[in-house]
Structure 1
Amino acid sequence: MRLLFVHAHPDDESLWTGVSLAHHVADGDEVHVLTMTLGEEGEVIPPELAHLELPPGEPRDPDAQDPLGALRREELRDAMAYAGVTSSVVLGEDDDPVQLADPERALPRYRDSGMAGTPSVEHPSAFVRADLDDAAEAVAAHIRRVDADVVVTYDANGGYGHPDHIQTHRVTRAAVQLVERTPRLMVILTPQSWASQDRSWLKHVPEARLRADRLELPPEGHAAELSVVPDDVVTHATVDPSAVATQRTALGAHRTQVRVFDDCFALSNDVAVRLAGREGFAEIDPATGSLLKGNEGARRGLTEEV
């Protein structure tokens, strides 16, 4: 099976689909990752690298260098080497192996848009400002490149509402419709029962450990739960606790963005997230975005019906 995971920023591939990447690599499938931006607007965790973080709430100079993006590109290379994926490409970079149908046109390159309502969304290269047709054509070229059987990306909410995640969903849906051999399109979702189990698990983490590791419990209505859905909406899953070791190592490569522990991780907000060894999905109609159910001929792992 050939799978293409389309993500917005370096680290998203390991945060959202790290279990599935590791599972399908171990199963002998072709696993490809396409990343839309370098995550230039990321918040930096290590104090010694804090100088790479751009000042929040300020306009971005279109001609300025983005040193954090260059470092995050190296983090992505390391993470995907640990994961053992078949290929990992950042759209439009010099080593991007695809070409558009018109050889006179270069592949577009996009920049991290930052969070909704921030000045960075006004940058001329911000991904949220991308022409949908141009971006979809570029992603479609990658789908053809790997001859994907399955394409995976975020749901319409972008997982937690990040503008670049939402744009990735829109662009990927449009791209799949351009491909002659249409792959199955899967979106990332979390069953409500899993979210409840993880929240209960986190509540049992000793307070002494939370203080020692500078971790916080997720508040009610935590933003990451925007893509938590009723269990019956999630029709496919990767459940593989043995893949957590690989996911953990890949996450550790993204050291500007993630702190990793044996059984959980935390982003710059210090909110603990359980490493549970499972990821949920549902297949959608790329034209309408509606969920599909009752698929025939499903396979194991990502395409195993639940």
Structure 2
Amino acid sequence: MPDLRLLLVHAHPDDESIGQGATMAKYVAEGRGVTLVTCTAGEMGEILVPELEHLAADREDKLGEHRRGELDAAMAALGVTDHRFLGGFGRYRDSGMQWHDDGHAIAADDIHDNAFWRADLTEAATHLVEVIREVRPQVLVTYDQFGGYGHPDHIQAHRVAMYGAQLAAAPSYRRDLGEAWDVAKIYWGGISEGRMREGLRALREAGDDTAFESWDPDGPLPPMFVPDADITTEVDAGDYGEQKMAALKAHATQITTDGPFFALSNNQGSAALGLEQFRLVKGELGPVGPEGRETDLFAGIA
């Protein structure tokens, strides 16, 4: 077992590559342990590949199995060998979503009986307790309480991760699942408002008015972007930007090469795409860099 170990809890295949793909690749290359737990197979995702539309939930309902293969390919691109589904593949189904008039996601009107949004919190968190006590990570990464943009599965993943970490640290809780383990540092992934504004300005200056077209570089931004002062940690994994791009391309049913992520990369370079930001919400802040932020999720851990 590597001396330093990171656990990430994400809702669907592709969320991990979008949020922390470069950081994952960097830590694998440095010999640190990286474990990914994905809570659903993304069965309700929108399919962006026309020839695969027959996999949709309202047709053959086989998208989850296909996305399982996409996740395998993405993890191979990042070098991650330990990736699991919460409670096993198929235990929890993608809940789906719809858009609120205010521009954020909310739960769909019709939700499958086995949807992750409906999962019993203690049951789901206990599945994670088992992983935490096996892997014994010093660092855990998940979403904030709003799940970034309101997706019910992101919110539920946040709840499961936070409660699972608490239960895992309680010696008297489910002794049969192993020795108690207290995760030293917990982070919520995020992108600072200032950084997003810089990216939008670069796109507009390059003549691209279609990517993120509804967002004004100088106006209000969606709640997924975090005030600059709340970003405590910034991992520079720019050397692994190309691996992150390869992982994004592996999720072909969800992300297109002419989509906004690739537009940002074209204008800022893969090095900028590899700069990933976090908010420390549990544990002590380690030594900081010139910008006043940690540069390593494991900073301060002996």
| TM-score bracket relative to the smaller structure | 0.7 to 0.9
Which of 281, 285, 289 is residue 278 of structure 2 equivalent to? 281
Matches for 1:258-273 after TM superposition, within 5 Å: 258-260=255-257, 264-265=261-262
1:201-249 CA deviation, whole Å, 9 max, x = no partner?
2212335xx7xxxx53341279984232221211111122211100001
Matches for 1:222-261 after TM superposition, within 5 Å: 225-260=222-257
The Cα of 1:181 is off from its aligned counterpart by 2.3
- Given the alignment of the two structures, is residue 216 of structure 1 paired with residue 211 of structure 2, yes or no? yes
| CA distance in structure 2 between the aligned counterparts of 1:224 and 1:40, rounded to whole angstroms | 29
Matches for 1:1-306 after TM superposition, within 5 Å: 1-55=4-58, 66-93=61-88, 109-115=91-97, 116-121=106-111, 123-179=112-168, 180-183=180-183, 184-207=185-208, 216-220=211-215, 225-260=222-257, 264-265=261-262, 276-285=273-282, 295-296=285-286, 300-304=295-299
1:245-273 CA deviation, whole Å, 9 max, x = no partner?
0000111111100113699337xxxxx99
Find the residue that maps to 2:9 and give its secondary structure: strand
Q: Which amino acid aligns with 1:28?
A: G
The Cα of 1:90 is off from its aligned counterpart by 1.3
The Cα of 1:140 is off from its aligned counterpart by 1.2
Contact 2:107 2:151 in 1 (8 A): no
Q: Which amino acid aligns with 1:35?
A: T
Find the residue that maps to 2:28 and give its secondary structure: helix
Contact 1:202 1:217 in 2 (8 A): no
| CA distance in structure 1 between the aligned counterparts of 2:212 and 2:206, rounded to whole angstroms | 9
Q: 1:155 to 1:27 in 2, by over 3 A?
A: same
Q: 1:117 to 1:233 in 2, by over 3 A?
A: closer
| CA distance in structure 1 between the aligned counterparts of 2:220 and 2:25, rounded to whole angstroms | 26
| CA distance in structure 1 between the aligned counterparts of 2:91 and 2:134, rounded to whole angstroms | 18
Find the residue that maps to 2:262 and give its secondary structure: strand
Find the residue that maps to 1:73 and give its secondary structure: helix
Contact 1:8 1:35 in 2 (8 A): yes
Q: Which amino acid aligns with 2:166?
A: Q
| CA distance in structure 1 between the aligned counterparts of 2:109 and 2:72, rounded to whole angstroms | 29
Q: Which amino acid aligns with 1:195?
A: M
1:63-91 CA deviation, whole Å, 9 max, x = no partner?
x9630001000100111011111301112
| CA distance in structure 2 between the aligned counterparts of 1:247 and 1:225, rounded to whole angstroms | 24
| CA distance in structure 1 between the aligned counterparts of 2:122 and 2:46, rounded to whole angstroms | 30
Structure 1: any 5+ residue segments left out of the alignment? Answer: 56-63, 95-107, 267-271, 286-291
Q: Which amino acid aligns with 1:177?
A: Q
Contact 1:191 1:228 in 2 (8 A): yes
Q: 1:255 to 1:281 in 2, by over 3 A?
A: same
Q: Which amino acid aligns with 1:77?
A: D
Percent identity reads 38
Q: Which amino acid aligns with 2:245?
A: R
